[in-house]
Amino acid sequence: MKVKLNIPISEEEIRKLNVGDEVSLSGIMVTARDMAHKLMHEEKPDFIRKYLENGVIYHCGPVIKKEGDEYKFVAAGPTTSIREEPYESEVICEYKVRGVIGKGGMKERTMDGLKRCGAVYFHAVGGAGSLIASRVKRVIDVFKLEEFGTPEAFWVIEVEDFPVIVTMDSKGNSLHTEILEKSRKVYEELISE
């Protein structure tokens, strides 16, 4: 199913999504990687709360250029999400996040947060950083830039028609787990012959 969603997104809208749904996101989202997740997990800062409630976290370390007083995204491909596994479930529930974008999927701990608190994992296409950056219409704000550096800072961005696929839904389904299980079966059949 193809779905257009505007951020902020209600929990009700998110719970309707299923693994395999193609989604186009428009609105405000926040990039957050390792240092940002560690901070949200340990200190639960309020400065980012208004952007994350019913919002979307993007696992991304963007390439940025500054033109005058404005920042522009040059490349904005997804980073591997599994590094945030120790933090993501708590971050989702603490901040009422409705979607997490990255690549590679996540594990059981995050799945528990998706189910309990009403969120999904969106997969973005890796290797398409400049194409994805073209969907970033403007940088609204940046937090922790000096302390964390460009890739690890919280970039608050406005996106338009940002293309993603639901690969983990709020019902407990994971395309990542399904593919791994199918691959394991094929492997076992091949080596048993």
In tens, the pLDDT along 66-116 reads 989 899 999 998 999 999 999 999 999 999 999 999 999 999 999 999 999
Mean pLDDT over 10-22 rounds to: 97
Domains for the chain: give ranges and CATH numbers: 2-192 (3.20.130.10)
Residue 182: in which H helix or E strand, if any? helix 175-192
192 pLDDT more than 80: no
Is the distance from CB of 101 to CB of 58 less than 8 angstroms?
yes
3-class secondary-structure state, position 109:
helix
For the chain, the distance separating the N- and C-terminal CA atoms, rounded to the nearest angstrom, is 39
Mean pLDDT over 17-32 rounds to: 97
Which stretch of 35-44, 120-129, 135-144, 145-154 has the lowest confidence by average pLDDT? 120-129
The larger pLDDT score, comparing residue 125 to residue 108, is at: 108
* Active-site residue, 41 included: no
Please pick, among 37, 59, 123, 176, the residue that the annotation labels catalytic: 37
Q: What is the pLDDT of residue 187?
A: 65
How far, in Å, CA of 120 to CA of 54, rounded?
Answer: 12
CA angle 94, 140, 76 (to 5 degrees): 80
* Neighbouring C-beta atoms of residue 177, cutoff 10 Å: 17
* Neighbouring C-beta atoms of residue 178, cutoff 10 Å: 12
